[in-house]
A and B are shown apart, each in its own frame.
Chain A
């Protein structure tokens, strides 16, 4: 049913939906820079969109790597690009940490088997976290011949208990996202975040019932 409806949309509408979905999936990546020498592998799915990122942090302030996404529809869409992320500022406080990140990337996007065109991506992120409270704000902009979109996302979370370093951490998070250039669109995503050791998993759903799953590992 969904595929049938999708096929009836105009090419412009399809591109808008695809770019929006890509952006929503990309916004799941919450750790643009890790520790010096680390690799960060992140992948996830939100509805019909798969997201894949692999970065190498060559210092505690900068990382670069591959960002690839796939949207499953009547015509599968793929984005592949290189991205560089910077930790612009970090406040290491006795009981909290706050960060400001930015990133730039370039790549190609298009329908599978039907050519592609150059695309650029830029993002800004600010977050603040204690052992019980989490807040984050993300802004992303994507520009290509066919796409010009902005995505703004805000998230708040609480940890029901203070987990120690080697214990399972659990967070209850509520995320709100707004995409410009579309019909008024406010996506509300309740999700549960778990992490232990170098493993990170998020499970949730949009209020419209689309599943949200994100996995991350550092090595």
Chain B
């Protein structure tokens, strides 16, 4: 019985550790080469199709792509860099920030 409880605890901890956080998260990606909004339309097109992304914002001045993740869902860093490359640009850094999406947009 004790062994069963330990196993259940381990499984529960493991699943909690791998679950996406149950909150809306903001991702900030720094991108090189984004100087033209017409050329950067691929960024919007690709990220809007991802089921974990609820909103996308491109900031040409700060060279940033901001993503808002849906509650309980997550997009991986690998997917983010892959989408940026498919759009024709060079990802420099991907970071998950504590600011809300609107706060991050505001600079």
- A residues engaging B (CB < 8 A)? 31, 34-38, 59-60, 87, 90-97, 129-131, 162-167, 169, 195-198, 200, 216, 218
Contacts and interface: CB of A to CB of B under 8 A. Distances in A.
A125 to B, nearest CB: 14
Interface stretch (B1-9, B21-29, B53-61): B53-61
Contacts of A200: 38
17 contacts: A31-B38, A31-B39, A34-B41, A34-B88, A36-B42, A37-B86, A90-B88, A95-B63, A96-B33, A97-B35, A97-B36, A162-B60, A165-B40, A165-B57, A166-B37, A216-B38, A218-B38
Most buried by A among B35, B37, B85, B89: B35
B33 A169 contact: no
Given A92-B32, A93-B33, A37 B45 contact: yes
Contacts of A31: 38-39
B73 interface: no
Given A31-B38, A165-B58, A165-B59, 19 more contacts: A31-B39, A35-B87, A35-B88, A36-B86, A37-B42, A37-B46, A59-B86, A60-B42, A60-B87, A94-B32, A96-B35, A97-B39, A129-B36, A163-B37, A165-B37, A195-B38, A197-B41, A198-B41, A216-B38
Contact of A198 (B38, B58, B89): B38
A136 B88 CA distance: 18
A200 to B, nearest CB: 6
Chain A interface, DSSP helix/strand/loop, else mixed: loop
Interface in B60-107: 60-61, 63, 85-90
A60 B85 contact: yes
Nearest to A166: B37
A104 B21 CA distance: 50
Contacts of B31: 92
